[in-house]
Amino acid sequence: MPSQNVELVTRAYEAFNREGAKGTLPFLAPDVVWDESRLPARRPGVFHGHEGMMALDQQNSELWLDIRADVESIVAASEDKVVAYVRARGRGRFTGEEVELRISHLWHVRAGKAVLVRLYLDRQEALEAAGSD
């Protein structure tokens, strides 16, 4: 199962880079919780369901151009948790300035779909959270 979950997460990022948030929906449970609350600019930063993902996509498109999420590595942390180390890149819509941020996502997977994805700014914190959730 862990290898299937790694494959699911890998494919979700590939789909995001092709189609944006819409591309990730087939990999997310309808009631998924996507938590970006650790980003200082994201308040409250928790998005619920596919509708929430599309709202997040809309927010991002208002601020950013050419958003990408390139996976640097993925760790199957447990039977149902995957930690993805990601290099997020984009260009400011109003400034044109390139921005890059290294983040980690802790994916909780059940029945072949992500039910919770939580963003961490610290890689070690994400890995530790995978063991304690």
Do residues 43 and 61 lie in contact, with contact meaning Cβ atoms separated by under 8 Å? no
Report whether the peptide linkage leading into residue 40 is cis, meaning its omega lies within 30 degrees of zero. Answer: no
Pairwise CA distance, residues 85 & 29, whole Å: 21
Q: Which tens digits make up the pLDDT trace of 74-119?
A: 999 999 999 999 999 999 999 999 999 999 999 999 999 999 999 9
Q: What is the pLDDT of residue 115?
A: 98
Tens of pLDDT, residues 43-79: 679 999 999 999 999 988 888 888 999 999 999 999 9
Beta strands 81-92; 64-76: pairing state: antiparallel
Please tell me the pTM assigned to this model. 0.93
- Give pLDDT, residue 35: 97
What class, spelled out in words, does domain 2-122 have in CATH?
Answer: alpha beta
Buried b (16+ CB within 10 A) or exposed e, 63-85: ebeebebebeebbbbbebbbbbb
For the cut 80, the answer to whether the pLDDT of residue 42 exceeds it is: no
